């Protein structure tokens, strides 16, 4: 009986530790731990690669919006901050998998199919994978200033799967499992904004090719046409893309969007995902949390940094300070030197110490890294707590 009572008391304490990791004291911690963040993200990526639920045909695995894609965006940045000479094994494994699926595009099965997962899932899977694969490979190539063969192939698949007719022409079919914020009915716009981010990250000579002029114009038209109906979360992704691909937003739109984002900032300097998304999905009402979380704060801070709007400088610094204060150190369910930023799913409660319960924390940690590493002097600051 005593053991059972101890467990009942202990589990809520662990959950609280995972979700409220602010460093004690009234003064901010001096820096963030890049090495600890890398240790967390690397282990999570190694787990994802080997998890039965992620496995697909030809020895490949699904690339997820919550774990794999944020990792692909953040890990190269961490490599620079930590002065690592080459990609670590987990990063190489992810990119090799994406390249393999790009090369075997016509031979691999979709991540999900109509037969096993419901009507429309085959097309949704192909559209989602085309966008995400292009983004990850183009992002990886960006420091070289040129496209690899596989990145070029991924961009070709991107345009091949773009919708050319109907109300959503210019967009891509996108996975909808009723899971906010990435796999819901309106996430077609999120996917299209990521496609714009991928194209904007590609070299200028690619963006200027005559062969993509018309589909790129279709994409621009879709993003402009559907912009007013989008959640703050999806419009934030477009704002990010607009810093890479000019002309996606007019200056008054950018200013109004930034003002709306700043109004959503919490008194502690962070943001809540609940403030960025609608209250319901296809599955029904979403859980609502007003307190700041790592995913929303990391994403908003990153995007505002990219816009370089002087009027938002103070709020950006407050967001950055929130991230520095709220990096979580080791707790009962996290091993070794790992550190992370916590976030919760709005779709249902998951124990935050479980592998699936950490999906939102995976994304939160990656976007927090991107935000902190992009800020001035982030590299020097990150070394202080190693």
- In angstroms and rounded to an integer, the radius of gyration of the C-alpha atoms of the chain is 20
Is residue 78 within 8 A of residue 369, CB to CB? The reply is yes
Q: Is the pLDDT of residue 27 over 60?
A: no
- pLDDT above 70: percentage of residues in the chain: 87
The count of other CB atoms within 10 Å of the CB of residue 165 is 6
- pLDDT bin (cut points 50, 70, 90) of residue 352 is confident
Q: Is the pLDDT of residue 4 over 60?
A: no
Cβ contacts of 95 within 8 Å, gap of 6 or more: 72, 87, 136, 137, 140
Is residue 76 within 8 A of residue 35, CB to CB? The reply is no
- pLDDT bin (cut points 50, 70, 90) of residue 251 is very high
pLDDT per residue over 125-146, tens digit each?
999 999 999 999 999 999 999 9
Q: Is the pLDDT of residue 8 over 90?
A: no
User: For residue 68, which of 38, 101, 90 has the smallest C-alpha distance?
Assistant: 90
Q: Is the pLDDT of residue 6 over 80?
A: no
- pLDDT bin (cut points 50, 70, 90) of residue 355 is confident
What is the rounded CA–CA span in Å between residue 177 and residue 322?
32
Is residue 297 within 8 A of residue 319, CB to CB? The reply is yes
Neighbour-count burial of 27, counting CB atoms closer than 10 A to its CB (0-12 exposed, 13-18 middle, 19+ buried) = exposed
pLDDT for the residue 12: 39
Higher per-residue pLDDT: 21 or 117: 117
Mean pLDDT, all residues of the chain: 90
pLDDT for the residue 335: 56
∠ CA 140-142-146, rounded to 5°:
110
Q: Is the pLDDT of residue 193 over 60?
A: yes
What is the rounded CA–CA span in Å between residue 354 and residue 352?
6
Is residue 192 within 8 A of residue 222, CB to CB? The reply is yes
Phi-psi label, residue 308: left if phi above 0, alpha if psi -120 to 50, beta otherwise: left
Q: Is the pLDDT of residue 5 over 50?
A: no
pLDDT per residue over 288-334, tens digit each?
999 999 999 999 999 999 998 898 999 999 999 999 999 987 654 45
- pLDDT bin (cut points 50, 70, 90) of residue 282 is confident
Is residue 128 within 8 A of residue 157, CB to CB? The reply is no
pLDDT for the residue 334: 53
pLDDT for the residue 28: 45
- pLDDT bin (cut points 50, 70, 90) of residue 74 is very high
Which residue is associated with the tokens 């045909």? 57
Q: Is the pLDDT of residue 152 over 80?
A: yes
Q: Is the pLDDT of residue 22 over 80?
A: no
What is the rounded CA–CA span in Å between residue 307 and residue 288?
28
């Amino acid at each position: 009986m005593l053991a059972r009572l101890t467990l009942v008391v202990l589990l809520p304490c662990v959950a609280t530790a995972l979700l409220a990791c602010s460093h004690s004291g009234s003064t901010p911690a001096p820096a963030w731990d890049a090495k600890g963040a890398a240790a967390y993200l690397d282990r999570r990526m190694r787990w994802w690669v080997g998890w039965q639920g992620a496995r697909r045909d030809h020895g490949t695995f699904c690339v997820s919006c919550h774990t794999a894609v944020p990792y692909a965006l953040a890990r190269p940045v961490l490599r620079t901050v930590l002065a690592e000479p080459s990609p670590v094994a987990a990063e190489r494994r992810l990119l090799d998998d994406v390249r393999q699926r790009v090369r075997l595009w016509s031979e691999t099965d979709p991540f999900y199919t109509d037969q096993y997962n419901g009507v429309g899932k085959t097309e949704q899977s192909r559209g989602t994978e085309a966008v995400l694969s292009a983004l990850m490979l183009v992002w990886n190539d960006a420091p070289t200033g040129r496209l690899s063969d596989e990145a070029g192939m991924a961009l070709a698949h991107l345009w091949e799967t773009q919708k050319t007719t109907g109300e959503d022409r210019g967009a891509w079919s996108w996975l909808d499992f009723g899971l906010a914020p990435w796999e819901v009915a309106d996430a077609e716009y999120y996917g299209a904004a990521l496609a714009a981010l991928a194209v904007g990250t590609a070299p200028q000579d690619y963006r200027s090719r005559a062969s993509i002029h018309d589909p790129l114009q279709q994409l621009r038209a879709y993003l402009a046409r559907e912009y007013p109906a989008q959640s703050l979360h999806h419009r934030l992704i477009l704002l990010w893309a607009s810093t890479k691909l000019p002309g996606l937003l007019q200056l008054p739109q950018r200013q109004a969007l930034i003002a709306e984002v700043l109004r959503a900032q919490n008194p502690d300097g962070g943001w809540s995902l609940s403030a960025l998304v609608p209250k319901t999905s296809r599955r029904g009402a979403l859980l609502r949390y007003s307190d700041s979380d790592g995913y929303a704060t990391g994403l908003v801070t990153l995007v505002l940094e990219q816009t370089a709007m002087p009027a938002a400088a103070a709020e950006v610094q407050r967001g950055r300070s929130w991230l520095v204060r709220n990096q979580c150190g080791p707790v009962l369910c996290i091993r070794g030197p790992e550190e992370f930023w916590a976030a919760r799913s709005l779709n249902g409660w998951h124990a935050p110490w479980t592998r699936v319960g950490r999906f939102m924390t995976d994304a939160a940690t990656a976007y927090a890294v991107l935000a902190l590493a992009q800020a001035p002097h982030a590299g020097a600051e990150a070394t202080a707590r190693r």
